[in-house]
Amino acid sequence: MFVSVTVDDREPPAVAAALRAHADVEAVEVHRLLAADIVIGRVGFERKSGEDYLRSALGRLGSDLEAQVRKMTDAYDHSYVLLEGDIADVEACWPGTPDASVRGSLASITARFGVPVIPCGSAERLVDMAVRLARKHVDDPSVRQLPVGAVTGRTEPIAKRMYGCIEGIGPDTAAALYDAFPTIESALAAGEDQLRAIDGVGQKRAEAVYTALRSEE
């Protein structure tokens, strides 16, 4: 499968050149993007060198990585931050910064926003990773997208969004379910009586939640 790519015009020319050279890329356009550095279909990628990542994630000057990630999640169905280099390369950019702080920032972005931060090694591997990730979201039948439900914000916790996909569950009830059971595992361990005890969940909704969480569909 071939893909078409859009690259932000503020990116180094080498990025567009590497994408044009990729065997699975049929077209590359370069123009100003409001969010992300590379866009393939409905997938956005923020490309970061080690130095740029540290400035935007931990520094007081420069771009704000969290703001960039929020823009991506608002604009695209799927978002990623791709790093040139491995974690050791990124840590070496700022020798005075504790390595744990660098790794913690990667974990924070991934956990808080649901946007994976992926060290890719070389620039060529970063481009290849972007193409492969975008293709997986289109042509891999094993990837099942979360259905749209009552809770639509992409930055909302996955468990809360899943509760909102259950028939008869609105945003307020989904929030109440999430407050009581912040993980799907904890909800699976609950009985119908515990579900009924939640504000806004009566007998019918408790049965619907109990059944939906155990459905194989």
- The answer to whether residues 95 and 194 belong to one domain is no
Report pLDDT for 31. Answer: 95
- Looking at residue 122, what DSSP letter applies? S
User: What CATH number has the domain bearing residue 196?
Assistant: 1.10.150.20
For the chain, the domain total comes to 2
Q: pLDDT tens digits for 69-110?
A: 999 999 999 999 999 988 888 888 777 777 788 888 888 888
Listed range (60-64, 76-80, 201-205) with the worst mean pLDDT:
60-64
Cβ proximity of 75 and 36 under 8 Å: yes
Question: In this predicted structure, what is the pLDDT of residue 127?
Answer: 94
Domain ends where: 139, 168, 184? Answer: 139
Q: What is the pLDDT of residue 104?
A: 86
The alpha carbon of 2 is separated from its chain's Cα centroid by a whole number of angstroms, namely 23
Distance CA 81, CA 130 (A): 10
Tell which phi-psi region holds residue 201, choosing left (phi > 0), alpha (psi between -120 and 50) or beta: beta
CATH number, position 77: 3.40.50.10130
Examine residue 98 and state whether it is found in any structural domain, yes or no: yes
- For the chain, the average pLDDT equals 84
The pLDDT of residue 36: 94
Q: Are residues 46 and 95 in the same domain?
A: yes
Q: Which residue has the higher pLDDT, 97 or 43?
A: 43
On whether both 26 and 92 belong to a single domain, the answer is yes
What residues make up the domain containing 186?
Answer: 158-213
- State the maximum Cα–Cα separation within the chain, in Å, rounded to a whole number: 61
The answer to whether residues 162 and 135 belong to one domain is no
Q: Are residues 128 and 176 in the same domain?
A: no
The whole-model pTM stands at 0.62
Contact by Cβ (8 Å): 117, 110: yes
145 located within any domain: no
Q: In the prediction, which pLDDT does 82 show?
A: 94
Q: Which amino acid is at 211?
A: T
pLDDT tens for 112-168 read 889 999 999 888 999 999 999 999 887 654 544 445 555 556 667 888 888 888 878
Query: Does one domain contain both 7 and 113?
Result: yes
| Mean pLDDT to the nearest integer, 176-181 | 89
Does residue 150 lie in a domain region?
no
CA dihedral 45, 49, 54, 56 (to 10 degrees): -50
